[in-house]
Amino acid sequence: MKKVLIITYYWVPSGGAGVQRWVKFTKYLRSFGWEPVIYTPQNPEYPALDLSLEKDVPSDVEVVKTPIWEPYNIYRNLMGKKNEPINAGFISENKKSGWKERFSIWIRGNFFIPDPRRFWVKPSVEFLKKYISENQIDAIVTTGPPQSMHLIGAGLKKFFPTLPWLADFRDPWTNIDFYEDLHLTKIADRIHHLLEKRVVTTADVVVVVSKSMKEDFLRLQPKRIEIIPNGYDEDDFSFIKPELDEKFTISHIGTLKAVCNPTKLWKVMEEIAAVDASFKADLRIQLIGKVDFTVVEDIQLHNLNDNLIKISYVPHDEAIKKEISSQVLLLLISQTDKSKGIISGKFYEYLAAHRPILGIGPTNGDVSELLKNTQTGIMIDFDDEKLMKKTLLQLYEQYKRKSLTISAESMEKFSRKNLTHDLANLLDSICKK
């Protein structure tokens, strides 16, 4: 059986969206003729832990670990947060960011290029040079973010130029929605772009998760680029008996950043609740995961605090139960110019939950197209209050009639097993060169 070395920062017991894609690929790769070998840090900084994902990894999969140094203790001491986990992205659960936080973001963007895991690149290349020389490895995969993982791949390519390398981008690099928030100097911005181009043009194949991401990376002229989206694992849903919430529960599962806050939606909910007492009594806004404090403040500002249920991070299997039991699933896309190609990993599990999806985001984006093709919901523009109100009232009316259902179409291609088959075929193709 051919062996693929998968270089990833996130691995079990990490929680969150970043770990799930390659845990699921690892689960099914052997079925398609590939033996995965995982290379991951020994002492990483994870934003959350999720032991429920361990069941997806075959117990005899080889996992190789080496120590990593990360500058987060410096950040914690600066911010006075010695025992707090580090959140991914730009999210503050408790308070407004002061000058220290803004300064730390500036330092992160301009000195820790491409990210704070950069200090693991050189020792990893040195370690893996020896490992690959002594062990059978037929292909390398790097997955980011963090994009430093791709620099390990680029470093190894220098020493093993004929060893096929697949660079997997779960998110964009310089086109990610928070790139401007890093407040980069011209020099730092240039370095980010040069590193990105080096990775994209050196890898034998670049893999992205959406059509718009492919269009974005094509400007860098990769040798080859393919789309393998995120998906859902049928096994995660096969043993769950759905029991719908009695209340009109609208749920968002996952990290909710300030840039995704649907202010107009809260406004419309407040307006409906003001004239319809039953809607006010039935409505439940369920937010599961890390939520920026500005979102909670906004909900309170619109007199919906009594309708809010806020739950901190839950294991993946529990999150799926919450999705299946919700009346409506809320999908929020960043309100930025670069959000067209964003397809969060939870979207595909939303599909598998077979609950109506209420999306707030760009109506010309990839998610909007998928919602139409699968007939699972609607995408409404950030500022379209009229359509928000109309849609909410329609959903609520169906809820009252107990007819709030969907018939999802064309979903099988997004199953994790089918997607792993696509990945294995891609690995086979780059190994035949």
User: Are 274 and 254 in the same domain?
Assistant: yes
Q: Which pLDDT belongs to residue 94?
A: 58
User: Are 38 and 67 in the same domain?
Assistant: yes
**Position 405 in a domain:** no
User: Are 293 and 350 in the same domain?
Assistant: yes
Task: Give the chain's domain count.
Answer: 2
User: Are 227 and 241 in the same domain?
Assistant: no
Q: What are phi and psi of 330, to 5 degrees?
A: -95, 125
User: Are 12 and 40 in the same domain?
Assistant: yes
The DSSP code sequence of 90-133 is S--SSS---HHHHHHHHHHHHHSSS-GGGGGHHHHHHHHHHHHH
**Position 409 in a domain:** no
Smallest CA-to-CA distance from 261 within 236, 296, 225, 285 is with 296
Q: What is the DSSP letter of 361?
A: S
**Position 98 in a domain:** yes
Q: Which pLDDT belongs to residue 90?
A: 47
**Position 408 in a domain:** no
CATH, residue 78: 3.40.50.2000
User: Are 218 and 344 in the same domain?
Assistant: no
Contact assessment for residue 314 and residue 52, using Cβ atoms and an 8 Å cutoff: no
Are β-strands 139-144 and 62-66 bridged in parallel, bridged antiparallel, or unpaired? unpaired
Q: Which pLDDT belongs to residue 406?
A: 87
User: Are 225 and 258 in the same domain?
Assistant: no
**Position 175 in a domain:** yes
Residue 287: both structure tokens together: 């937010």
User: Are 319 and 216 in the same domain?
Assistant: no
**Position 241 in a domain:** yes
Q: Which pLDDT belongs to residue 91?
A: 47
Four-residue CA torsion sign, 322, 323, 326, 331:
positive
pTM: 0.91
Q: Which pLDDT belongs to residue 125?
A: 99
**Position 364 in a domain:** yes
**Position 407 in a domain:** no
Smallest CA-to-CA distance from 304 within 336, 266, 248 is with 266
Q: Which long-range contacts (CB under 8 A, 24 or more apart) does 272-277 make?
A: 272/389, 272/392, 272/393, 272/396, 273/303, 273/304, 273/307
Smallest CA-to-CA distance from 327 within 373, 275, 394, 273 is with 394
User: Are 172 and 185 in the same domain?
Assistant: yes
> CB-side exposure of 196: number of CA atoms within 13 Å?
23
User: Are 109 and 29 in the same domain?
Assistant: yes
Q: Which residues of the chain have pLDDT under 50?
A: 90-91
Using a 10 angstrom Cβ sphere, with 0-12 exposed, 13-18 middle and 19 or more buried, the burial of residue 63 is middle
Residue 71: both structure tokens together: 């500058």
Q: Which residue range(s) make up the domain with 80?
A: 2-231+415-431
User: Are 131 and 193 in the same domain?
Assistant: yes
User: Are 240 and 276 in the same domain?
Assistant: yes
Beta bridge partners of 141: 6, 166
Are β-strands 283-288 and 357-360 bridged in parallel, bridged antiparallel, or unpaired? unpaired
Residue 310: both structure tokens together: 């806020």
